[in-house]
Amino acid sequence: MTETLSSVLPDDVERDTRRVLQTACEQALTLATAESCTGGLIASLLTDVEGCSHAFLVGFVVYTEEAKTALLGVPAEMIEAEGVVSRSVAVAMAEGALARSSADIAISTTGYAGSAGRDGEPGLVHFACARRGRETVHREEHFGDVGRGEVRLGCLRTALKMMGDMLR
């Protein structure tokens, strides 16, 4: 059971979090996050399971374009050309988290958790999961205009699934 979020997390998220962390521990692998629309929620979740949190190494919360560029090395030109909520930016974020840490696996999120303004789609989120020595995996989700909490919960599920798959 997670320590601080357990009263609000669905059972499947708790179960999957524990599974990801236990698998990472068994394989002596470390995890990193590069989060935008989830604002550090994945990192928080990965440090909530007592006895397994040592599998989590570092989290980058990069909410702005400037932070993505400065902290993760996402090229500003890529953001300008592709958009901050895009496959290429999600991949660059995950790979940047690996490049700027000694973690073995990194997950990234970039998207619209709430209203997306005039140019974006509410609930559109791009994920990428990178592992040293493997090809980075991308996933695009359309959660819909269901509100920030529901989108972020969907992000947790997707991120845990992707990290679990990368640990296999």
CA–CA gap between residue 74 and residue 119 (Å, rounded):
21
Average pLDDT rounded to a whole number, residues 2-19: 80
The answer to whether residue 5 sits within a structural domain is no
Q: What is the CATH number of the domain that holds 47?
A: 3.90.950.20
The answer to whether residue 74 sits within a structural domain is yes
pLDDT at 138 over 80: yes
For 78-91, the pLDDT digits (tens) are 999 999 999 999 99
The answer to whether residue 68 sits within a structural domain is yes
**Domain count of the chain?**
1
The answer to whether residue 8 sits within a structural domain is no
Which pTM does this prediction carry? 0.94
The answer to whether residue 1 sits within a structural domain is no
The answer to whether residue 10 sits within a structural domain is no
Q: Which domain holds residue 46?
A: 29-167
The answer to whether residue 22 sits within a structural domain is no
The answer to whether residue 18 sits within a structural domain is no
pLDDT at 111 over 80: yes
